[in-house]
Amino acid sequence: MRPERVDRLATVIVLSLAGIVGMVVFSLLIYILAMGIPHINWHFLTAEAESFSAGGGIRDQLFNSLYLVVLTLIVSVPLALCAAIYLSEYAPANRWTQGLRLAIEVLSSLPSVVVGLFGYLVFVLQFGFDFSLLAGALALTILNLPILTRSCEDALRQVPYLQRQAGLGLGMSKWRVTTKIVLPAALPGIITGTILSAGRIFGEAAALIYTAGQSSPAINYADWNPFSPTSFLNPLRPAETLAVHIWKVNSEGLVPDARAVSNGSAAVLIITILLFNLIARYAGHRIKQHLTK
């Protein structure tokens, strides 16, 4: 065949495969949104969930999901960033580093159910955190760390080697080069990676069922003392998240409008993750602009 024909054929094949993937993803997205959006209204978003009667909302579940993401990021971002800095700036190319990378790789392919059960055994029972936001956040941290570490490391590696050399050439110490030159330049990538990982853990259910728990005791949004048992900020209270709620309503829900509640919740979940992604792009873009202005 002539090169042009091969080229045209290859293009057609690649495009149609991409088209199939795009179709599947889009139709799923549209299906979920179409099924769910009709059930979303102000009441749905701001009312408590009902156990037996129809008309319950998802206020607490939505809040729990967001709060859990925040707690998880508070734990995982510093850890991931330190690990990434070590790997990209300091780690020598030897066995130990290879082993570390392998461990991270393995950790990232751990099924979330396994992470959930590990969290149940270690955080809930061993450490005595009970079913709590804290136990959930730690389980999500395990889930989040490998991917976040990788994306932070990638962001750091993207900074040209010469920038580091230039810093060293000016008499800066390695640590200073890392914090003053490499880190700021990598910031857009790090922030984008963090927000994207937030979207990923926002939809997590399996790791949370036995760690953050499946119940939502009454919480008081006026109580800002994180140590008070009924405070919405208390990290030691059990907290059902949106994704767990969907799973629970579908599997053992007693409410007559279970379908509507789960469809609506799914749509809210998808929309929120979509928002995370949009924010990630926007934030990364803005910071980059700011740096090069």
Partner 1 sequence: MQTKTALETKNLQVLYGEKHVAHDINLKFPQNQITALIGASGSGKSTVLRSLNRMNDDFATVKGEINFHGVNINQPKVNVYRVRQQIGMVFQQPTPFPMSIYENVIYGLRLTGEKDRRVLDQRVEESLRQAALWDEVRDQLKASALALSGGQQQRLCIARTLAVRPEIILMDEPTSALDPVSTSQIEDTLVQLKKHLTIIMVTHNMQQASRSADWTAFMHQGHLIEFDKTDTIFMNPHEQKTADYLSGKFG
Residues that bind partner 1 (CB under 8 A): 160, 162-163, 165-173, 176, 181, 184-185, 291-293
Three-point CA angle 267, 273, 274, nearest 5°: 85
Minimum Å distance from CB 78 to partner 1? Answer: 24
- ∠ CA 98-141-67, rounded to 5°: 155
Q: How far is the CB of 157 from partner 1 (least distance, A)?
A: 16
Contacts of 260 (CB under 8 A, 6+ apart): 39
d(CA 249, CA 14) in angstroms, rounded, equals 41
The SS3 of residue 4 is helix
Closer to partner 1 by Cβ: residue 52 or 161: 161
Question: Is 181 or 268 the residue whose CB approaches partner 1 more closely?
Answer: 181
Which residue, 9 or 170, has its beta carbon nearer to partner 1? 170
Amino acid code (one letter) for 78: P
**Residue (165 or 228) nearer to partner 1, CB:** 165
Query: Alpha-carbon distance 201 to 77, whole Å?
Result: 13
Which of residues 140 and 191 has its CB atom nearest to partner 1 in the complex?
Answer: 191
Instruction: Output the smallest distance, CB 165 to partner 1, in A.
Output: 6
Tell me how far apart the alpha carbons of residues 239 and 216 are, in angstroms, rounded to a whole number: 5
Min dist. Cβ of residue 188 to partner 1 (A): 10
CB of 241 to partner 1, least distance (A): 39
